[in-house]
Amino acid sequence: MKIRLPALAVAAAVLAGCATTGPQYLTGPGTDRPDPRGETVLGLDYRDFEYAAEQAVDSFLSSPLSRKPGSTAPWVMAISRMVNDTALNIDTDQLIKKIRVDLLDSGRVIVTTAVGLEGPEDPLAAKTRELQESELFNQETVAQDGTMVAPELSLSGKIIGRTNRVGDKQQVDYYFQLTATNIETGLAYWEFEEVIAKIGDNERFSWE
């Protein structure tokens, strides 16, 4: 349990009915889409990931290159490196999973789990090819070589955290940056950045 040093002052404030306010949004989910809870944390919580993911998907779907030129088939996308450049121990899948779900629902993108930067996300698709040698399995039901679909787009990104002192408060800015690269050409087909800024007292670091 942590108790502030001027305990008597805090106790007096509580008795007097003074409301204390926690960190607030400057930009992000608490501003253009007010959250009923009002307050936030200086770190990132589920609302921030949901908000950033929704903004990212809206941005992608409004891009003309979200539709494959000359085709009605969806893009096949691989997930590349997502860098957490904050002071928080966060799992970048909190952001990416939501984006994947919404993109799949849009019908314009399918994510491959057979290719990943550090190996396939789901190695079973490749592993099941070993059944081609097995007499136990009906070979008509075994996936054959040359059937997997290679990715056409690669999704990479970064979450950057920057903290600045503003008077007796601290402002923490989180930059959600995403890029979809056309793997054939190496050209960035889509770029996205969303900033979620929060301000709060300077009593704790954002990760505490």
Partner 1 sequence: MLVSLAALTGCVGVADVQQTVEFMEHYRAGEFAAASNLIGGPTGLDYQADNLLTSLHVGMALRNEQRHDAAQVAFDRAEGQLLWKSDEVASVEDVLGVGLSLIASDLALSYHGNIYEGVLVNTYKALGALAAGDPDRARVELNRAAQRQDNAVDQLAVKVSALTANEDEDAQQQHQEEIDEAVAEVMDPDGPVARRLDAVDSLGQYQGLRNPFTDWLHGVFRLATGEANRASNLLRDAVVVDGRRNRHLLADFAAAERIAQGGKAESDRVWVIHEDGLGPRLDEFRFDIFVPTEHGLIAVGTALPTLYGGTPAYGSLTVRADGRSTETEPILHLDRYVATEFRAGYDGVVFKAVAAAVIRVLVQAELQKGSDSSGFFGALAKVVVPAAATIVTQADTRMWRALPHTIGIASLPRPADDILRIGAAGAPGIGEVSLPPGRFVIVTVTTTRPGAPPALNTYSLPGG
Chain residues that interact with partner 1, rule: CB under 8 A: 1-7, 83-89, 161, 163, 165, 201-208
Residues 6+ apart with CB under 8 A from 168: 201, 202
CB of 161 to partner 1, least distance (A): 7
Closest CB 7 distance from partner 1, rounded Å = 5
Nearer to partner 1, 76 or 178 (CB): 178
Q: Considering the complex, what minimum distance in angstroms separates the CB of residue 89 from partner 1?
A: 6
SS3 181: strand
| Residue 190 three-state SS | strand
DSSP state of 133: G
Is residue 15 within a helix (H) or strand (E), and if so which, with residue range?
helix 7-15
**Three-state secondary structure call for residue 102:** helix
Instruction: Report in angstroms how near the CB of residue 52 gets to partner 1 at its nearest.
Output: 18
Cα gap 94→51, rounded to integer Å: 11
Whether the CB-CB separation of 59 and 192 falls below 8 Å is answered with: yes
Nearer to partner 1, 6 or 123 (CB): 6
CB of 93 to partner 1, least distance (A): 12
Q: Smaller CB distance to partner 1: residue 85 or 105?
A: 85
Q: Which residue's CB is nearer to partner 1, number 46 or number 205?
A: 205
Structure tokens at 130: 């070993």
Nearer to partner 1, 125 or 195 (CB): 195
